Amino acid sequence: MGYYDEEYEQKPKRRGRGGFLPALIGAIVGGLIVAVASPFLSNTEMMPGNEAQNETVRNEDGEVIQKKVAVDVTTSVTKAVDQVNEAVVGVVNIQQSRSFWNEERTDAGTGSGVIYKKAGDKAYIVTNHHVIQGATQVEVSLADGSRVPARPLGSDQLTDLAVLEIDSNHVSKVMQFGDSDVLKAGEPVIAIGNPLGLQFSGSVTQGVVSGVNRVIPQDLNQDGTPDWQAEVIQTDAAINPGNSGGALINIDGVLIGINSMKIAQQEVEGIGLAIPINIAEPIINDLEKFGEVRRPYIGVSTLSLNEISGYHLKETLKLPENVVEGVAVLGLEPLSPAAKAGMKEYDVIVAFDGEKIPDVVALRKYLYTQKEIGDKIEVTYYRQGQENKVELTLTEQKM
């Protein structure tokens, strides 16, 4: 090409005796070097005609005025995305409003979803509860841009998960579940979804696991008191509005989390949160099979002691001074496990199976994660200042 020759003056070459033999040896050595190095250069995309395609444009004088280099880059990230991108879809929340003159059908919002199962003529999609909340109709936007109707099978506000059903004829790929319990801080992850709507469908962002087992309080009824504590994966992969319900995958291209903007702080840069798939999977199974999450319950309405005044702790509940944590029973459902076991209004639950229950969130957490319908549970409670214990048989929570 002469890139270096332009910078120095060539000297006339001398011819002498003995020049043929060194030239022959040099040619042989050079050929051997090229033969040995070619496979390595080919693997690193440095040999012409392999992955890189070069195009040089010259002017009339032969000077290079433009040079284009196109490289086909394949990495572990691109392989993972290519493996699963068609299994990530858009979810459209359609709401209808009626007036005296007409009925309007509008797209109230969009989110993302993950196709996780294909069985017979049906395929199943997991998304967030808040993505489809209030919808009169739901549609799914596929990787090719087409939109198909979806039927909500069930949703759960507590875990912010929902399951949809579509015709399997539209599905070519499904996402495989991974194991979120083995995630490590610093492990690379990839978020796929539809930030800011369907015009950015299939967007990919990359980051790392910033933290595992993060606990985020959630106030579901907006009364200022947390109703639940969600365990989530923290990542610095960009998760924006519209990514809700989308996939968080590892470098092997398997699903390890469901992105959820509902529990993310939008004003904070670099903090995204996702529901671990090991927590989501049993919820997904219940929603698919039963249309709801089947949870055990004892049948009481409660209030944490830290929300009750010191006067009522002493005068109404008549608690000893050393009892400062627990859950007060404000009401019982007729024929519930607690009612059948003889519990009463103003009893104060302090432990389940010997494990302390400091507040309402801990009570729900223990029931929903440690127990199943039909299990027995030992309840330690105070009544009129006296400690008591009773055994209950848990039944299914009625929604």
For the chain, helix, strand, coil in percent to 5 are 25, 40, 40
**pTM beyond 0.85, yes or no:** no
Q: Which residues of 329-362 are buried (b: 16+ CB within 10 A; e: fewer)?
A: beebeeebbbbbeebeeebbbbbbeeeebbbbbb
- Would you say residue 208 lies in a domain? yes
160 as an active site residue: the answer is yes
User: Which listed residue (112, 129, 130, 141) is catalytic?
Assistant: 130
Same domain flag for 165 and 249: no
For residue range 288-319, what is the model confidence (pLDDT) as tens digits?
999 999 999 999 999 999 999 999 999 999 99
Tell me how far the alpha carbon of residue 240 is from its chain's centroid. Answer: 12
| Structural domain includes residue 13 | no
Instruction: Indicate the residue among 131, 146, 170 that finishes a domain.
Output: 170
pLDDT single digits (tens) 215-246: 888 888 787 788 888 899 999 998 888 889 99
Let me know if 130 is a catalytic residue.
yes
Residue 6 lies in a domain: no
CATH number at residue 360: 2.30.42.10
Q: What mean pLDDT is reported for the chain? A: 84
**104 and 125: one domain?**
yes
Are 189 and 207 within 8 A, CB to CB?
yes
**Domain match, 260 and 208 both:** yes
Percent of the residues in the chain that have a pLDDT greater than 90, as a whole number: 61
- Cα(105)–Cα(94) distance, integer angstroms: 7
For the purposes of burial, counting CB atoms within 10 Å of the CB of 390, is it exposed (0-12), middle (13-18) or buried (19 or more)? middle
CATH of the domain at 278: 2.40.10.10
Verify that 285 and 184 share a domain, yes or no. Answer: yes
Residues 193 and 283 in one domain: yes
Q: Tell whether 387 and 367 lie within a shared domain.
A: yes
Residue 188 lies in a domain: yes
**Same domain for 389 and 315:** yes
Classify residue 146 as left (phi > 0), alpha (psi -120 to 50) or beta: beta
Could you tell me if residue 10 is inside a domain?
no
Number of domains making up the chain: 4
163, 213: one domain: no
User: What is the tens place of the pLDDT at every residue in 1-32?
Assistant: 332 233 333 344 444 444 555 555 555 555 55
Q: Tell me: do 148 and 187 sit in the same domain.
A: no
Q: Which of 290, 314, 347 is the last residue of a domain?
A: 290
Inform me whether the pLDDT recorded for 191 exceeds 80: yes
The enclosing H or E element of 303 equals strand 300-304
Would the pLDDT of 352 be above 80? Answer: yes
Is 340 domain-assigned? yes
Clarify whether 244 is annotated catalytic. Answer: yes
Same domain flag for 166 and 203: no
Out of 136, 151, 170, a domain closes at: 170
Identify the pLDDT of residue 286: 96
Same domain, 154 and 239: no
Confidence at 155, pLDDT banded by 50, 70, 90: very high
Catalytic residue among 156, 160, 236, 359: 160
Active-site hit among 244, 260, 304, 359: 244
CA distance 38 to 26: 18
Output phi, psi for 8, to 5 deg: -145, 160
- Distance, in Å, from the CA atom of 193 to the CA atom of 91, rounded to the nearest integer, reads 10
Domain extent, residue 218, equals 180-290
Number of Cα atoms under 13 Å in the Cβ half of residue 108: 16
Give a yes or no: residue 16 inside a domain. Answer: no
Residues 198 and 154 in one domain: no
139 within some domain: yes
